[in-house]
Amino acid sequence: MLFFDPKTEFPVLLAPMAGVTDLAFREICRAMGADFSYTEMVSAKGLYYGSDRTASLLAASPQERPYGVQLFGAEPEIVSEMAKRLSEEAPEGLALIDLNMGCPARKITGNGEGSALMRDLPRAARIIEATAKASALPVTVKFRKGYDAEHINAVAFARMAEESGASMVTVHGRTREQMYSGRADWDIIAEVKQVVSIPVIGNGDVFSGADALALRAHTGCDGVMVARGAEGNPFLFAEIKAALSGREYTPPTDAERIDAALAHARRLVECRGGRAVIEMRKHVAWYLSGMRGASTLRAQVNRIGSLAELETMLLQYRESLNG
């Protein structure tokens, strides 16, 4: 059983994004209204061979229940075995195992993983089927419109995923070739929705509450997944939930955005130690986007090396905006 009833609920999900959706950020997004979140994508092979760094990505917190673990890999035996282990050891709140068959990164596709599996449906089917049989939890699949413009096969891929045992699919309306450029094709999400009986989550170009409403209306999807739209803007989940319920939404002030960046930084350092402030630099740039004098401050942020420095810088900046 999935974590929601598609007949009565329309969830808003935070996408798993490597190097972005760390535990601290996921907690903030859940507090802002995200209904579901995933770990950053986890290498099944890394887990199999006992990588401590890979295992560390499995950490979750009480604030994100329910949540999912996203695995990637190209070997059916390894992926299914790791899914079986995770589902048997399932910590409280773990609701599903998601299979990443959409990541466009070259270092992933070069190993035949991620969106490279959209060019090899028989192998993808073996992975999904083996994992669905091995896991005590529902198995879901995330994939793209296709690998490139000459190979648009999301509809066939979705049918295969359902037939292989997937309980839900998430469709990103871009090809691997597009990466994150151009506009997401919502028509392909609508086509997938028409041919499968399992829930379909729509993903791509959701940057506002109005976008979420438009994606639902255009595709008939059973939920929306937010990815880049949440970078530096976890408030987006509150905006979407307000739009879905027909409530007024008041955007955050610059001070509130800076406070969110500070909370994120403090929690990230708490989770990962002092050097995590370096990982925080890109998040700070996103939080400050569009503010007065932000470009100058971003250059300074890229030179900071401690949480104390970052706090001083952001607090002074917040005061300057009030002047």
245-263 pLDDT, tens digit each? 999 999 999 999 999 999 9
pLDDT cut 70: percent of the chain above it: 100
Q: Give the pLDDT of residue 293.
A: 85
Q: Is the pTM of this model over 0.75?
A: yes
Distances (CA, A) of 30 to 113, 163, 298: 29, 32, 26
Report H helices in the chain: 23-32, 44-48, 52-56, 76-88, 106-109, 121-134, 154-163, 186-195, 209-219, 236-245, 254-272, 276-288, 294-301, 307-322
Cα dihedral 89, 74, 164, 102 sign: positive
Chain centroid, CA 98 distance in Å = 11
**pLDDT tens profile 138-183:** 999 999 999 999 999 999 999 999 999 999 999 999 999 998 988 9
Q: Give the pLDDT of residue 298.
A: 84
List the catalytic residue out of 29, 103, 221, 271: 103
E strands present in the chain: 12-14, 37-38, 42-43, 67-72, 94-101, 139-148, 151-152, 168-175, 200-203, 223-226
Q: Terminal CA-to-CA distance of the chain, rounded, Å?
A: 54
| Largest Cα span, the chain | 62
Tell me, what amino acid is at 19?
G
Burial level of 52, CB count in 10 A (0-12/13-18/19+)? exposed
**pLDDT tens profile 78-96:** 999 999 999 998 888 999 9
Distances (CA, A) of 265 to 22, 56, 160, 229, 275: 11, 19, 42, 19, 11
Is 103 labeled as catalytic in the residue annotation?
Answer: yes
Instruction: Round the average pLDDT of the chain to a whole number and report it.
Output: 95
> Given a cut of 70, is residue 300 above it in pLDDT?
yes
Residue 102: enclosing H or E segment and its boundaries? none
Tell me, what amino acid is at 99?
L
**pLDDT tens profile 106-124:** 999 999 999 999 999 999 9
Rounded Cα distance between 58 and 40, Å, is 8
Q: Give the pLDDT of residue 266.
A: 96
Q: Give the pLDDT of residue 323.
A: 59
Rounded Cα distance between 129 and 150, Å, is 27
Q: Give the pLDDT of residue 220.
A: 98
Question: In a 3-state reduction of DSSP, which class is residue 197?
Answer: coil
